[in-house]
Amino acid sequence: MISRRFFCVLAAAAAHGQTEGRGSFKIDFPNDSPLAVVSADWGQSRPAARGGAMVLDLHTALVLRNSGQKRVRGVTLMVLAQDVTPGGKASVTAPSLDVAPGETFPVRVDLRLLRPIQGGDSAVVAVALDGVLFDDLSFYGPNRLESRRAMTVWELEAQRDRRYFKTILEQAGLDGLQKAILASIAHAGDRTQPSVQMVRGRATTYEPEHEVKFAFLEFPDAPIEPLSGMAKVAGNEARAPRIEVRNRGAKPVRYFEMGWLVQDDQGRQFLAGSVPAEVNLAPGQKAQVNQESGLRFPDRQGIRSMTGFVNTVEYADGRFWIPARDQMGASALNGAGVSGEEQRLIQIYQKKGRKALVDELRKF
């Protein structure tokens, strides 16, 4: 299949003699893509040679058009400088969109990639479409990065949280909505995310390693039931989480994620990350999930306790389960699991006020 290809040359790289082939950048969407490229300005991007590699600082705003027949809710682009070398590829996702057919929208690309200097005649950077999510939760794209799953979960969370604030607006008016959004801001401020580093292998601290058991939040309607769990902890590092679960639902499950809450030695609790698991779990079956990687929290003194909770379940038929809003607010999760959509709504209120927030909620 012949693709529509758009090339542009990076002027700064050309001035230093570092452009390659026919162009430095290639945006490559399939012929039947529901998105079309309107413009791409790479003028703020810069290449720099370091040893045998080229470091590419990419900064651009692509302008895309919805050329399909459905409203677009999310887009994921794959940005590739080199497919083998670590640091050679990345992705950019724009969630919480509401783009009608024919409308245009920007997608920011702010990345740093690595590429061997000897790159042949190919473009320095290629941008491809990994997936588009529509308002009916249908999906277009190769889904090489599992963007369908991620964008669908984000959209379900966005629908849940918009519905929560819209209900408050209908029942309590503008003052009630303002009170609710201020409570969200306060909760988000109380649960400031710490810096987190991925670690592999044994802990790098000098403190002895010991096992800490997970406590679990109970969501009665969750199809996955956590039975037991532990992780190895040394100082401010936690690694090798091991969790046993049971499918207590009526449908087979092929994927789930366990959220990971950590409390440090000062009693501060925060959302540390998640433990994902690809499974083939029939109703009633049990499974044990093991991971060798772990997390380090440089700005924390130590880990006192850990709590797990089911935050995503994907059934074998491709449908999803996520926690209800009232379950999250009534548990230790209150404020810790602020979704990307809730953060976006908070920013709209903080920058533009409550009228702009109301206008945004009424778009959907």
Whether 100 and 56 map to the same domain: the answer is yes
Q: Are 226 and 217 in contact (CB under 8 A)?
A: no
141 forms beta bridges with none
| Same-domain status, 124 and 67 | yes
Query: Are residues 308 and 239 part of one domain?
Result: yes
Q: Which residue segment(s) compose the domain that 215 sits in?
A: 197-337
Instruction: Say yes or no: 261 and 348 in one domain.
Output: no
Phi, psi (degrees; rounded to nearest 5) at 138: -75, 165
Burial of 220 (0-12, 13-18, 19+ CB in 10 A): exposed
Residue 232 has pLDDT above 60, yes or no: yes
Residue 185 near residue 351, CB atoms below 8 Å: no
Cα distance between residue 186 and residue 55, in whole Å: 40
Question: What per-residue confidence (pLDDT) applies to 164?
Answer: 94
Of the residues 83, 110, 145, the one at which a domain ends: 145
> For residues 205, 211, 213 and 214, what is the CA-based torsion angle, rounded to 10 degrees?
40
Q: Read off the amino acid at residue 276.
A: P
CATH code where residue 130 lies: 2.60.40
141 and 119 within one domain: yes
Flag whether pLDDT at 288 surpasses 90: yes
Mean pLDDT confidence for 214-232: 93
Q: Which residue has the higher pLDDT, 247 or 336?
A: 247
Judge if 237 and 314 occupy the same domain. Answer: yes
Cross-strand bridge partners of residue 307: 215, 261
Share of residues in the chain with pLDDT > 90 (%)? 53
Q: What is the mean pLDDT of residues 57-70?
A: 93
Cα–Cα distance for residue pair 253/280, rounded to 1 Å:
6
Residues 228, 177 share a domain: no
pLDDT digits (tens, 9 = 90+) for 93-148: 999 899 999 999 999 999 888 877 765 545 578 899 999 999 999 999 999 999 99
Task: Say yes or no: 238 and 349 in one domain.
Answer: no
Q: Which long-range contacts (CB under 8 A, 24 or more apart) does 25-28 make?
A: 25/123, 25/124, 25/125, 25/126, 25/127, 26/123, 26/125, 26/126, 26/127, 27/62, 27/126, 27/127, 28/3, 28/4, 28/126, 28/127, 28/128
Distance CA 60, CA 106 (A): 10
Under 8 Å between Cβ of 308 and 261: yes
- The answer for 120, left when phi > 0, alpha when psi is -120 to 50, beta otherwise, is left
Q: What is the pTM of this model?
A: 0.83
Question: What's the confidence (pLDDT) of residue 170?
Answer: 96
- 290 and 183 housed in the same domain: no
Do 119 and 216 have their domain in common? no
- Number of structural domains in the chain: 3
Q: pLDDT (tens digit, 9 = 90+) per residue, 268-282?
A: 777 878 889 999 999
Residue 191, number of CB atoms within 10 A of its CB: 19
Question: Which of these, 262, 94, 294, lies nearest to 193 by C-alpha position?
Answer: 262
Written as one letter, the residue type at 52 is G
Calpha distance 101→110 (Å, rounded): 26
Is there a single domain that holds both residue 265 and residue 354?
no
Tell whether 97 and 167 lie within a shared domain: no
Name the residue among 228, 216, 307, 209 with its Cα closest to residue 264: 307
